[in-house]
Structure 1
C-alpha cells in the first residue's frame, strides 16, 4: 500500500494526470470507487501553486455525508480528504474536494 500523502505538498499538477482514473474511498460500509472527473484551478491562495478543486464521481446509490475520508491512489498514496456531496453528475454521485 502507498504511503500517506502530505496534503499541503499536493498541487493541481499531481492530480491532472489522473483525470478519469479511479481512486478508492474507504467508508464504514467498505470501499467505494471514485473516478476523478474534474480538476480545476480555484484562484490564488496561501498554498504553493494556488488553490484547486477536484470532483470525484461514485456509482449511483446511497449518498455519503460530507466528511473526511481516506482516499487511496497507487501513485499519490492515501489522502485524508474532506469530501462534500454536490449532487448527481457525470452519471453518478459527485463529491467535491477543495484544496486552499
Structure 2
C-alpha cells in the first residue's frame, strides 16, 4: 500500500477530485493542503498533514470513508469530515497522520 503525502497533494490545489457517493459520482475541489505539527514518533511513515475540500451541494455529506479518484493520483479511499458551511456549500477535511 502506498502512503500518500503532503507533496502528493500540494500541486493539486484548486483541482477536482471525483468522489463516489452511493451509486453516483460527484466532484470535490481541493482548496487547501496544510502541514500539521509533528511529534517525534519512532517509525513515523509520513509527516502529518490536512486536506480541505469544498463541495457546492446544499446538503452536507456525512463523515465517512469515500472512494476518491484524481487524474494524476489515481484511486484511494479518504475519510472526509464536514467542518464548515459557507455560502457556496460545505468544507470537508481529511487528516493524515
- Pairwise TM-score range, normalised by the shorter structure: 0.7 to 0.9
Structure 1 runs of 4+ aligned residues shifted over 3 Å read none
Matched, 1:23 2:17: yes
Moved more, 64-73 or 26-35: 26-35
Larger radius of gyration: 2
Q: Work out which of the residue numbers 55, 59, 63 in structure 2 matches 1:62.
A: 59
Q: Work out which of the residue numbers 89, 94, 97 in structure 2 matches 1:97.
A: 94
List runs of 5+ in structure 2 lacking aligned partners. none
More relative contact order, 1 or 2 (CA 8 Å, 6+ apart): 1
Aligned residues: 93
TM-score normalized by structure 2?
Answer: 0.87
Q: CA RMSD in A?
A: 1.7
Matched residue SS, 2:9: helix
Tell me the residue number matched to 1:41.
Answer: 35
TM-score normalized by structure 1?
Answer: 0.84
